[in-house]
Amino acid sequence: MLQTSVTVHHSFNAARVYRIPLELFPGLSGYAHLVFADDYAVLIDVGSGVGYSNEHLEAGLKQIRENFGENADWESLTHVLITHAHIDHFGGLRYVRKRTTALLGVHKLDLRVLTGYEERLRIVAHRLTEYLIEAGVSSDERQDIMDLYLLNKHLFESVEVDFTYDEADMQVGPLRLTHVPGHCPGQVVLQIDDLLFSADHILKDTTPHQAPEQLSMNTGLGHYLESLEKIRPLARSVRISFGGHEDPIIDLEKRIDEIVGMHSDRLAAVLKLLERPLTIADISNNLFPKAEGYHVLLALEEAGAHIEYLAQRGYLSILNLDDMQPNRAVPIIYRRRSAQFVRIIGAKEYLIN
């Protein structure tokens, strides 16, 4: 696969940021970033480690050496920082760790994914199976979804991590880190001068994926929306934001508003659908009728995150409570409690009749 070129950006304080394009999985591209500032050479994220990802990472470093004259080699790196423990961002660590002695950092809430990967995978697979039953997914379809979920996941093995971000007081050299749980428990964004690495917390075109907190603590739509508000004060001092995927974001505050608006509309749409009794799978099919393959799971998680948000805040009731017995997972049928619509503006909720 052809790779597009590395681009360079300069902060007001002369830090150099290189964007390295990577094919992470077939059909999913994204970026690793290499930052040079003072005596620091920091690689932010390492790609998926599968397909062309490692090759593209090497090609990117080579371009930075040859076209920009930087010491972009494995020996010169001082730090490798993981923005969040999703495999498209950290899967390349097995490859990278063998080549550099740079210090590896991650947020403490994502530490176990990297250091106890096999354990974590088992737990998630267990919770996911239960979730799919509760969501009302048929057993055949559950099997397909689990097969897809586990595909490629066994290619990673645990790695040792050198430090967590709180141990470094959320600061690595000139990079200031902010914890923004939601899309992932240990999600962080990193700021250097007037540049922000927004990772998968804020993307330019796509609304970052949400999953119910039932699957993994410190995810969930409520945490995510709070974390968006946490970034709003930074937006005024940020000129360009680099997501983990897609093009850079120029107007960060506008993008935050758009994402909040999208979730607000989606919550309203879910409440509208729940005029009649439905499962999460029904709602997912309604919201994302074209989802196929791995996207079926993503759609079920996205729908579930919105249902969970509404259910926790008392907008929904469960119709088949009598079917729910200890030690027996059954599909849960929801209906809305009232005809009120929720609007979220900022982190606040407003009711609209």
Write out the residues near Zn ion by the rule CB under 5 A: 86, 88, 200, 244
Helix axes 139-150, 294-312, angle to 10 degrees: 110
Strands 171-172 and 163-164: unpaired
Looking at the Cβ atoms of 88 and 282, the one nearer to Zn ion is: 88
Looking at the Cβ atoms of 185 and 244, the one nearer to Zn ion is: 244
Residue 96: phi and psi, rounded to 5, are -70, -40
Question: Least distance in Å: CB of 46 to Zn ion?
Answer: 12
Tell me how long the chain is: 353
Question: Least distance in Å: CB of 84 to Zn ion?
Answer: 6
> Considering only CA atoms, which of 134, 178, 107 is closest in space to residue 282?
134
Looking at the Cβ atoms of 88 and 308, the one nearer to Zn ion is: 88
> Considering only CA atoms, which of 155, 164, 206 is closest in space to residue 47?
155
Tokens of residue 223, six digits:
């945490």
Question: Least distance in Å: CB of 206 to Zn ion?
Answer: 10
Question: Least distance in Å: CB of 288 to Zn ion?
Answer: 18
Looking at the Cβ atoms of 15 and 300, the one nearer to Zn ion is: 300
Distance CA 266, CA 209 (A): 13
Question: Least distance in Å: CB of 12 to Zn ion?
Answer: 28
Looking at the Cβ atoms of 53 and 63, the one nearer to Zn ion is: 53
Q: CA 4 → CA 19, 20, 22, 47, 322, distances in Å? A: 10, 9, 9, 15, 57
Distance CA 30, CA 229 (A): 25
Question: Least distance in Å: CB of 200 to Zn ion?
Answer: 4
Q: CA 213 → CA 27, 124, 274, 316, 345, distances in Å? A: 27, 12, 21, 17, 22
Amino acid at the residue 44: I
Looking at the Cβ atoms of 299 and 316, the one nearer to Zn ion is: 299
Looking at the Cβ atoms of 105 and 244, the one nearer to Zn ion is: 244
Looking at the Cβ atoms of 23 and 88, the one nearer to Zn ion is: 88
Question: Least distance in Å: CB of 140 to Zn ion?
Answer: 28
Tokens of residue 315, six digits:
């907008």
CA dihedral sign, ordered 55, 42, 28, 2: negative
> Considering only CA atoms, which of 252, 186, 242 is closest in space to residue 20?
242
Distance CA 179, CA 173 (A): 17
Distance CA 112, CA 116 (A): 5
Looking at the Cβ atoms of 148 and 268, the one nearer to Zn ion is: 148
Distance CA 77, CA 339 (A): 56
> Considering only CA atoms, which of 335, 338, 346, 300 is closest in space to residue 149?
300
